[in-house]
Amino acid sequence: MTTIASPKTQWLIASDLDGTLLDHFSYSHQPADATLQQLESAGIPVILNSSKTRDEMLALRDALQNQHPFIVENGSAIFIPAGYFPNKPELAREEDGYWVLEPGAQRQSIVDFLHNDGESHGVPYLSFSSASNEEIVAATGLNASEAEQANRRGYSEPLLWRGNEQEKAAFAARANAAGFATLQGGRFLHVLGQTDKGQATKLLKKTYQHYTDRSCKLIASGDGPNDLDMLKIADVAVIVRSPSHAPPELPHHPELIVTQETGPLGWALAIQDILATELLPL
């Protein structure tokens, strides 16, 4: 087990949203609420880390009564409320009351790449940036305003792939060579900068560490394959069981918990266990 926490340790918790803090089917966070409050009183920040956009995450962060930094679009950008640390981190820029660190790429640079790539290799996909809102509604099943919100993106471009797997692999290789990454989600192939949930979490942890004499330690929690990069770098990794798929494989992690229960209940019970064994006294 990790060393029993002392006042010399500042614990941080990074957490995915869908299927982790939010129920896979109902999107409820209620089973996690009491634990979230307990962490807040104990001065342990919960850092929301998702594939969602800034606007989508701001709404959920409000619902969760969370006021800590958060990470958007699969590690593309870190939003730190201005004034959260004693001064602005050196590399951050200021935007709408946030200090923003951007390990990812600007969406426009991704769209430019897609435009150039399409001219030589064709366009066997629907991209959000060139689609009408009606086309996005048809591709996603979102309603019209949700589709608009999903299309207000800063750092990544979802593609609905219509070509074959071979074309997709060749496209991913060209994207890589051009300095981007691709990430296959449930429905979309996402093009983003060469970052991931783990790299952004590492950068944010380093930022916390810069402002404290205590030693920062990380608990990370998630339910999907795109959470593995964040789980790998955590001192304690919590894989939250899903009602829809098997837990992702995380071999050789020194301190791994796979929850018994699914979603926010599984999350809360695992965090309670960690609190009881490692973080006492709260």
**104 lies in the binding site for Mg ion (CB under 5 A):** no
Least CB distance to Mg ion at residue 40 (A): 22
Determine the interface stretch with Mg ion among 85-93, 116-124, 131-139, 219-227 (rule: CB under 5 A): 219-227
In whole angstroms, give the CA distance from residue 104 to residue 77. 6
> How long is the chain?
282
Dihedral (CA of 21, 27, 31, 33) sign: positive
- The tokens describing 87, both together, are 């001064």
Determine the interface stretch with Mg ion among 18-26, 62-70, 207-215, 251-259 (rule: CB under 5 A): 18-26
Question: With respect to Mg ion, which residue has the nearer C-beta, 117 or 146?
Answer: 146
Q: How far is residue 37 CA from its own chain's centroid? A: 21
Least CB distance to Mg ion at residue 164 (A): 28
Determine the interface stretch with Mg ion among 69-77, 93-101, 137-145, 223-231 (rule: CB under 5 A): 223-231
Determine the interface stretch with Mg ion among 16-24, 93-101, 167-175, 269-277 (rule: CB under 5 A): 16-24
From the list 11, 15, 16, 220, which residue makes contact with Mg ion (rule: CB under 5 A)? Answer: 16
Query: What single-letter DSSP state applies at residue 102?
Result: -
From the list 13, 14, 19, 102, which residue makes contact with Mg ion (rule: CB under 5 A)? Answer: 19
Query: What single-letter DSSP state applies at residue 246?
Result: P
In whole angstroms, give the CA distance from residue 51 to residue 197. 9
- The tokens describing 261, both together, are 């229960």
Pairing type for strands 156-161 and 189-193 reads antiparallel
Least CB distance to Mg ion at residue 234 (A): 15
In whole angstroms, give the CA distance from residue 180 to residue 159. 14
From the list 104, 224, 263, 264, which residue makes contact with Mg ion (rule: CB under 5 A)? Answer: 224
The CA-atom distances, in angstroms, between 15 and each of 12, 20, 139, 152, 227 are 10, 7, 28, 23, 9
Question: With respect to Mg ion, which residue has the nearer C-beta, 231 or 274?
Answer: 231
Least CB distance to Mg ion at residue 244 (A): 10
Q: Which of 216-235 are b and which e, b meaning 16 or more Cβ less than 10 Å from the residue's Cβ?
A: bbbbbbbbbebbbbbbbbbb
- The tokens describing 189, both together, are 């192939």
From the list 12, 14, 18, 200, which residue makes contact with Mg ion (rule: CB under 5 A)? Answer: 18
- Say whether 16 is catalytic: yes
Least CB distance to Mg ion at residue 17 (A): 7
From the list 23, 73, 157, 223, which residue makes contact with Mg ion (rule: CB under 5 A)? Answer: 223
The phi, psi pair for 165, rounded to 5°, reads: -65, -35
Question: With respect to Mg ion, which residue has the nearer C-beta, 24 or 214?
Answer: 24
Considering the candidates 16, 23, 223, 235, report the single residue annotated as catalytic.
Answer: 16
Number of chain positions touching Mg ion (CB under 5 A): 5
Residues lying near Mg ion in the complex (CB under 5 A): 16, 18-19, 223-224
| Residues with a known catalytic role | 16
